[in-house]
Amino acid sequence: MSDAAYVPPKVWQHLAPSGGHFAGINRPVAGATHEKALPVGKQPLQLYSLATPNGVKVTILLEELLALGKEAEYDAWPIRISDGDQFSSGFVEVNPNSKIPALLDRSAATPIRVFESGSILLYLAEKFGAFLPADAAGRTETLNWLFWQMGAAPYLGGGFGHFYAYAPEKLQYPIDRFAMEAKRQLDVLNRRLGEQHWLAGSSYSIADIAVWPWYGELVRGNLYSAGEFLSVHEYTNVVRWANTIAERPAVKRGRRVNRTWGDEAEQLAERHQASDLD
Q: 3-state SS of the chain?
A: CCHHHCCCCCCCCCCCCCCCCCHHHCCCCCCCCECCCCCCCCCCEEEEECCCHHHHHHHHHHHHHHHCCCCCCEEEEECCHHHCHHHEHHHHHHCCCCCCCEEEECCCCCCEEEECHHHHHHHHHHHHCCCCCCCHHHHHHHHHHHHHHHHHHHHHHHHHHHHHHHCCCCCHHHHHHHHHHHHHHHHHHHHHHHHCCECCECCCCHHHHHHHHHHHHHHCCCCCCCCCCCCHHHCHHHHHHHHHHHCCHHHHHHCCECECCCCHHHCECCECCHHHHC
Q: Categorize the per-residue pLDDT at 106 as very low, low, confident or very high, splitting at 50, 70 and 90.
A: very high
What is the rounded CA–CA span in Å between residue 160 and residue 153? 10
Query: pLDDT above 70 covers what percent of the chain?
Result: 95
Q: In this structure, are residues 47 and 115 in contact, taking their beta carbons and an 8 Å threshold?
A: no
Residue 182 has pLDDT above 70, yes or no: yes
Query: pLDDT above 90 covers what percent of the chain?
Result: 91
Among 25-34, 113-122, 248-257, name the one with the lowest average pLDDT.
Answer: 25-34
**pLDDT attached to residue 25:** 77
**pLDDT attached to residue 57:** 98
**pLDDT attached to residue 152:** 95
In degrees, rounded to 5, the angle at the alpha carbon of residue 50 between the alpha carbons of residues 101 and 274 is 95
Residue 164 has pLDDT above 50, yes or no: yes
**pLDDT attached to residue 38:** 98
Q: In this structure, are residues 60 and 250 in contact, taking their beta carbons and an 8 Å threshold?
A: yes
Query: How does pLDDT run across 18-65, given as a tens digit for each residue?
Result: 666 666 678 899 999 999 999 999 999 999 999 999 999 999 999 999
**pLDDT attached to residue 27:** 87
Mean pLDDT along residues 134-156: 96
**pLDDT attached to residue 22:** 66
Mean pLDDT along residues 187-208: 97
Q: How many residues does the chain have?
A: 278
Residue 169 has pLDDT above 80, yes or no: yes
> Who wins on pLDDT, 3 or 107?
107
Phi/psi of residue 111, nearest 5 degrees:
-50, 140
Q: Which residues contact 113 (CB under 8 A, 6 or more apart)?
A: 93, 94, 95, 102, 103, 104, 105
**pLDDT attached to residue 122:** 98
Q: Going from the N-terminus, what domains does the chain have, and what CATH number goes with each?
A: 45-131+257-277 (3.40.30.10), 136-246 (1.20.1050.10)
**pLDDT attached to residue 19:** 64
What is the rounded CA–CA span in Å between residue 50 and residue 102? 10
Residue 17 has pLDDT above 80, yes or no: no
Query: How does pLDDT run across 206-220, given as a tens digit for each residue?
Result: 999 999 999 999 999
What distance, in Å, lies between the first and last C-alpha atoms of the chain? 50
Residue 1 has pLDDT above 50, yes or no: no
> Who wins on pLDDT, 257 or 24?
257
Q: Is the pTM of this model over 0.85?
A: yes
Q: What's the whole-number average pLDDT of the chain?
A: 95
**pLDDT attached to residue 18:** 64
Q: In this structure, are residues 197 and 132 in contact, taking their beta carbons and an 8 Å threshold?
A: no
